[in-house]
Amino acid sequence: MAIQPPTSQKQLYETDFVQWIETTAQQLRDQNYAAVDWANLIDEIEDMSRRERKALKSNLIVVLLHLLKWQFQPEQRSGSWRSSLREHRRRINDDLNDSPSLVPYVQTVFAECYLNAREQAADETGLSLQTLPESCPYTIEQIIDPAYLPTDK
């Protein structure tokens, strides 16, 4: 069965995303702007921003989760928690260094991320939600500090 090549950029986008990217990049390099699939290109650029924000938010939740577990379940502390903190802090710091415009976003979603981490920490530890502080006990600076670990309750 022979695969028929797409007849338009839109079809290429729908049938072979990688080829669409390579073709679009070449069209831009060649300044062949009339041939560019602008609608899908704009959508993809906007999606890139959303993915970056979503990843940052996810990494922030993981750090908050492990800080809560570290503080409120000291008998369970492990190298994997410390390693996870290191990895996700590195990702956050890399994102903020690469895109300083994300700093205000962190401040905007901070409370929401903490609430998510608090609920997940209660689920994972079996601790009552009321055991964990309603407001985040850590500053943003502490959260991204590779050396910071909270003290016991």
Report the pLDDT value the prediction gives residue 12, as an integer from 0 to 100: 87
Report the pLDDT value the prediction gives residue 7, as an integer from 0 to 100: 56
Residue 5 lies in a domain: no
Q: What is the mean pLDDT of each run of 10 residues along the chain (153 residues)?
A: 56 90 95 93 94 97 97 93 96 96 96 98 95 96 96 73
> For residues 11 and 115, what is the distance between their CA atoms, to the nearest angstrom?
43
Per-residue burial over 6-27, b if 16 or more Cβ lie within 10 Å, else e, is: beebeebbeeeeeebeebbeeb
The answer to whether the CB of 45 falls within 8 A of the CB of 53 is no
Region of residue 46 (phi > 0: left; psi between -120 and 50: alpha; otherwise: beta)? alpha
Report the pLDDT value the prediction gives residue 10, as an integer from 0 to 100: 78
Report the pLDDT value the prediction gives residue 3, as an integer from 0 to 100: 44
Report the pLDDT value the prediction gives residue 153, as an integer from 0 to 100: 64
Split into its structural domains, the chain has a count of 1
Q: Which residue segment(s) compose the domain that 85 sits in?
A: 50-144
